[in-house]
Structure 1
Amino acid sequence: MDIRFEQAGARFAGRLAVEPLTISLTERRIGIIGLNGSGKTTFARMINGLVTPSMGRVTVNGVDTVDDAEAVRSQVGFIFQNPQNQIILPILREDIALGLKSRRLPAAAVEAAVQGILGRFDIGHLAGRRAHELSGGELQLAALASVLVTEPRIVILDEPTNQLDLKNRALVEATLNGLDESVLVISHDLALIADFDRVLLFHEGRLLTDGLPSEVIARYREVATL
């Protein structure tokens, strides 16, 4: 993974959501934390082109997010805070196949890939289920399967344990720990990112602290009590 921000920032309606920053991200597991409205989600969305920089540039593995947004999105999957919102088709098996069919792959190749990803996450028993029938943890796995079946090299997850009970949180945490892909996780769940390689702390639109989880989380606790 090689994500680079070169004096890149984002402005909405005259307000700086993310102040221009220069940073390089190469670690395999990176946490992104901060208070609500701190700019962390905007920063993450700039990585796969969901938000384009108002100034500067962002590249992913050498590809500019503005010049070749399609190529960037093929490399970077994004799981939204409410995964149910990104499951488009009613039946899980059909939804997982959707991204592959858009690539005009042969039916046999699509079926093999779908079966492979269902097996990878051990959710074959959910293949014929509807999204509203799934638990919170199952929804997260379903969304991950739908994204990872297209083989991105990087996956970004926005609050993957939000509102999950202990059982489903443990299920999601174990799944994240087992991923081969590079992972960036936006989270208020500090325990989830406590053993990550690196953590970024955003505050009021700027990158406040960047480093080892223990140091950055400690700084976040200070900020949160001001």
Structure 2
Amino acid sequence: MTDADNSEQDGAVLALDAVCLTRGDRQVLRDVTLHSRARRIGIVGRNGSGKTTLARVISGLVPVDSGTLKVCGVDVVRDRKAALRTVGILFQNPDHQIIFPTVHEELSFGLTQMGQSKTEAARRVAAILSEFGKSHWADAATHSLSHGQKQLVCLMAVIAMAPRVVVLDEPFSGLDIVTRMQLGRYLSQIAAAVVHVSHDPASLQDYDHVVWLDAGQIVQQGPAQDVLAAYVTQMKALGAGDDLSDLAG
């Protein structure tokens, strides 16, 4: 039986072993080991802790230097075709994700890349727009949408491809309270497993498994209540200091 078969059999959503990644002279990820069967996994940490890099690694967008990585039993770096059907990612800035002029075209692209015909893709797009109550958005110009609306379009594009895991990289960044609540409601309805990257512990408090990342290393992982309490305590201690005056970094 292969490692992928083992990972699939034990139900692991994420199976990372000693994952390392260096960029230039900086080690961005250091021996990251994470095995979780949880349906809602949070990754918390300060800016620059390696969270976004880890999200891209999990999504198969960035190859690692060493270690092994499986998502639902799939090696998302080596098997890109299987990766498209296994994991989707919602970036922090929707303008970095949207490439087509209309909502329908944006939602159709990933489906055709997976091999669906234009007719099949059109049916799926119509279904997903209806499911989200946004059928009237089909011909809308993507450039005319608000930040929150663009983020929802990106989410629908990911969901339309029916991945088994959805990776969210700071999805609430730049959104006001009302829009955050609205997008959060849509996110809570996702049937796929979710890996949510955030610096904000409040957005992860209801998650099943939380990983605290700092300087590319896992500081602590486990139940949300325990990990987030330790994280908040550490952040308050750092906030009471004066590291902004330190110019060495």
Contact 1:136 1:168 in 2 (8 A): no
Contact 1:52 1:65 in 2 (8 A): no
For 2:18 and 2:48, the matched residues in 1 are separated by 21
Question: Is 2:78 the counterpart of 1:42?
Answer: no
Count of residue pairs brought into register by the alignment: 226
For 1:104 and 1:215, the matched residues in 2 are separated by 44
Question: Is 2:68 the counterpart of 1:57?
Answer: yes
For 1:22 and 1:188, the matched residues in 2 are separated by 20
Q: Which has the larger radius of gyration?
A: 2
1:40-189 residue pairs with structure 2 within 5 A? 40-189=51-200
| Structure 1 residue 30, shift from structure 2 partner | 1.0
2:31 pairs, out of 16, 20, 27, with 20
Q: Determine the structure 1 residue equivalent to 2:229.
A: 218
Question: Gaps (5+ residues) in structure 2?
Answer: 1-11, 239-249
For 2:80 and 2:110, the matched residues in 1 are separated by 16
Q: Determine the structure 1 residue equivalent to 2:6.
A: none
| Large movers: runs of 4+ above 6 Å | none
Return the TM-score normalized by structure 2: 0.86
Return the TM-score normalized by structure 1: 0.94
Question: Is 2:204 the counterpart of 1:193?
Answer: yes
- 184-193 vs 66-75, which moves further: 66-75
For 1:47 and 1:109, the matched residues in 2 are separated by 28
Which has a greater percent of helix? 2
Question: Gaps (5+ residues) in structure 1?
Answer: none
Contact 2:84 2:114 in 1 (8 A): no
Q: State the SS of the aligned residue for 1:63.
A: coil
Give identity over the alignment, percent.
Answer: 36
| Structure 1 residue 2, shift from structure 2 partner | 2.4
| Structure 1 residue 140, shift from structure 2 partner | 1.6
| Structure 1 residue 22, shift from structure 2 partner | 2.2
